[in-house]
A and B are shown apart, each in its own frame.
Chain A
């Protein structure tokens, strides 16, 4: 995996790139920063994991990529590019030509993401009709092929059915077929299996990985399950309180974490017995966005925090060319990771 990073580092086959992405929302506390200076790149042929606890800003980050931020949110600094086009400079109409064509997205709770009033086939074909200008018949034929691609049995019959006739896992396959209909180079999957049964989770994840390899696309996989990351991802960005706190290739991140938060997440994953608290090894909760401290944001919950270094803003430090961490004690800490 390290080799892959080195190979692609020079050539620019990035399908998505966020630079210093900063998003604010208007709340009763005024404009509040919920995503702060996020740098994130997804290239062709790789799966990048975005992990972090609930409320860390993963969904907001991914919605900015699609130009789908809610009405009360705005990008105040930095930019997102998809296939070289800067999302924030596009009009709503231009955005509709990027969505589904260059970047596609699947979500949590697949059943709720499908419209109960239309057949699943119609909803997939719709994308082809919209972007390719195909006739209903031709689009439906292609939909059957797409259903076969995502391994929905009896595709020809299933396209005519409604979402309520599908299980959660099958709905997520339909969502995948819809997302991949117009051959996008970027697929964003926001906790695609969180709402599914454990066995179904595996199948859907394996399908995503197979399709990613087969189609050579880049995938941004959002999850809070490090087990999923271990199985799926080439590179990982860990988010905490709106910031990326650590970024590395998956192997390095698991074996040599350089941020106490990552290390804590790993320990919690390894020792489920510790699960009396929300996250075994890390006490406390993510503060709400309007209370993000101006110091190191993790400092309050960090067992390694020292007054001198951690009471200031902490930048991302490079550990090695493909590994960086937002920890002030990066040089003097030896953090536990996964040992195997």
Chain B
């Protein structure tokens, strides 16, 4: 198992390097000149040259990339020319906010997806199955920003149960945190939950038809054990695969949702830095996201070994 993870980590390194490099190239090609963006209105050519030099833009492209990479390896992502703060400490301060948003979203996704998917699978072909399927199809068509607005409209404005915007840290108490986080997390969870519902339903229906289910019943196990133990572990593999994809998508969704709810997480940072031409922060952000996605994929891969023992001996 450890060897397996080690191998995967090694394989992940080129991916992360490639992603950061591609982003560097894209920024190089981008029509916005960060020096112009920084300089404000009507800058003199001297001022622009000075800014370019300060940003290192006058050096060759590859040299800049390697320089950035070497520093990144030592945990230094540079200083933002806009806020004059260390990028790494800014990102690390905001990471827990986004992480907690994604985490709560995942919990909602899991509870809704596994719950509805299981019910639908057990009632396959019945009216309940049809209803869940229709709901899942409907939810699939609601993008996070629409979901966010609808939720705010009904649960914050018409019925003021939750605050419409704002944020509280977990340190302020889990109750308060939940108050602020529920609506953003729900808006982010809707499409993933619908996806998961379908996936769980399909995987469970397949598993329920396996011969070992008949064996489990023949030895007198109760239905909860048959479904909760024997089919669950086998159905988990396709489900975990989808979960991995969903987490990665949520990072993108967080950008939108954090802006709508004014949550100061990584999503807000990315919007800000794009608008202000803060390439240094943006580059750091890309690295962070690339690493996070890699870690999630690694966890998904590692879980396959747990759910499917046949993979372990190979």
Q: Which of B210, B219, B230 meets A100, CB within 8 Å?
A: B219
Give the size category of B's interface with A: 20 to 34
Inter-chain contacts of B307 with A (CB < 8 A): 117
Q: Are A115 and B216 in contact (CB under 8 A)?
A: yes
Chain B positions within 8 Å of A165 at CB level: 313
Tell me if B60 counts as interface (CB < 8 A to partner A): no
* Given A112-B211, A117-B307, A130 and B219 contact (CB-CB distance below 8 Å): yes
Q: Mark B210-237, 1 if CB is under 8 A from A, else 0.
A: 1110111111111101000110011000
Instruction: Determine the residue in chain A with the shortest Cβ distance to B212.
Output: A115
* B308 in contact (CB, < 8 A): yes
Judge if A241 is at the interface, Cβ distance under 8 Å.
no
- Chain B window 296-314, contacts with chain A (Cβ cutoff 8 Å), 1 for yes, 0 for no: 0000000000011110010
Contact across chains for A107 and B211 when beta carbons are under 8 A apart? yes
What separation, in Å, do the CA atoms of A101 and B219 have in the docked complex? 8
Report the nearest B residue to A105, measured CB to CB: B218
**With A130-B225, A164-B309 as contacts: A113 and B219 at CB distance below 8 Å:** no
Known: A96-B222, A100-B219, A126-B219. A107 touches B214 (CB 8 A): yes
Whether A96 contacts B214 by the Cβ 8 Å rule is no
Docked-complex contact B212 and A112, CB < 8 angstroms: yes
Whether B220 contacts A127 by the Cβ 8 Å rule is: yes
B218–A162 touching, CB < 8 Å:
no
A316 to chain B minimum Cβ distance, whole angstroms, is 30
- Which residue of the partner chain, among A96, A97, A114, A117, contacts B215 with CB atoms under 8 Å? A114
Residues of A within 8 A of B216 (CB): 115
| Contact, CB under 8 Å: A96 / B211 | no
Judge whether B222 and A93 touch: CB under 8 Å.
yes
Name A116's contact: one of B222, B229, B308 (CB within 8 Å): B308
Q: Would you list which residues of chain A between 152 and 183 have a CB under 8 Å from chain B? A: 162, 164-165, 175, 178-179, 181
Interface string of A19-60 (1 = CB under 8 A from B): 000000000000000000000000000000000000000000
Are the CB atoms of A68 and B214 closer together than 8 Å?
A: yes
**Cα separation A61 to B225 with both chains bound (whole Å):** 26
**Chain B residues with CB under 8 A of A95:** 220
How close is B302's CB to chain A, nearest CB, in angstroms?
16
Beta-carbon contacts under 8 Å, B263-299 to A: none
- B310, A99: Cβ atoms closer than 8 Å: no
Please report the total number of A residues contacting B with Cβ < 8 Å. Answer: 35
Q: How far is the CB of A100 from chain B (nearest CB, A)?
A: 4
A27–chain B nearest beta-carbon distance, Å: 15
A296 near B: Cβ within 8 Å? no
Name the B residues within 8 Å of A126 (CB-CB).
219, 221
Chain B residues with Cβ under 8 A from A178's Cβ? 215, 219
Inter-chain contacts of A164 with B (CB < 8 A): 309-310, 313
Residue A118 CB within 8 A of the other chain: yes
Q: Is the CB of B212 within 8 A of A114?
A: yes
Knowing A92-B223, A164-B310, the reply to whether A115 touches B218 (Cβ < 8 A) is no
Residues from chain B with a CB closer than 8 A to the CB of A97 are 220
When chains A and B are docked, how far (Å) is the Cα of A175 from the Cα of B211?
12
Residue A98 at the chain B interface, CB threshold 8 Å: yes
Q: Which of A97-134 contact B (CB under 8 A)?
A: 97-101, 104-105, 107, 109, 112-119, 123, 126-127, 130-131
Write 12 A-B pairs (CB below 8 A) sorted by A numbering: A68-B214, A95-B220, A96-B221, A97-B220, A113-B212, A113-B215, A116-B212, A116-B234, A118-B229, A118-B233, A131-B220, A179-B219
Known: A68-B214, A113-B214, A116-B310. 5 other contacts (CB 8 A): A93-B222, A113-B211, A117-B308, A119-B309, A127-B220
